[in-house]
Copies of this chain bind each other. A is one copy, B any other.
Amino acid sequence: MATEVPELDAYDARILDELQRDARISMAELGRKVHLSQPAVTERVRKLEMAGYIKGYRAVVDYQRLGYGIRALVRVGRAEYARVVKLIEQTPEVVNAFNVTGEDSWILEIAVIDVEHLDAVVTKFCLLTETSTAIVLNVPRENAKVLPAKREDIKPVLKKVTGR
Residues in A lying within 8 Å of B, measured CB to CB: 1-5, 16, 19-24, 51-63, 65-73, 85, 88-89, 92, 94-102, 104, 107, 109, 111, 113-114, 116-117, 119-120, 123, 132, 134-144, 146-151, 153-157
CB neighbours (8 Å) of A141 from chain B are 88-89, 94-97
Is A53 a contact of B66 with CB atoms below 8 Å?
A: yes
Is A151 a contact of B111 with CB atoms below 8 Å?
A: no
Taken together as a complex, chains A and B put the C-alpha atoms of A116 and B98 apart, in Å, by 22
A81 to chain B, nearest CB (A): 10
How many copies of this kind of chain does the complex include? 2
What are 28 of the A-B contact pairs (CB < 8 Å)? A4-B67, A5-B66, A16-B59, A20-B58, A21-B58, A22-B58, A23-B24, A23-B59, A24-B24, A52-B62, A54-B60, A55-B62, A66-B146, A71-B98, A89-B141, A95-B141, A95-B143, A95-B144, A98-B134, A98-B139, A99-B139, A100-B134, A100-B136, A101-B135, A101-B137, A104-B134, A107-B134, A111-B146
CB neighbours (8 Å) of A155 from chain B are 120
Taken together as a complex, chains A and B put the C-alpha atoms of A134 and B21 apart, in Å, by 29
Q: A21-B58, A107-B134 are in contact. List 19 more A-B contacts (CB 8 A).
A: A19-B59, A20-B61, A51-B65, A53-B65, A53-B66, A55-B60, A58-B60, A66-B149, A92-B144, A92-B153, A95-B146, A96-B139, A96-B142, A99-B136, A99-B137, A99-B138, A102-B135, A116-B154, A117-B154
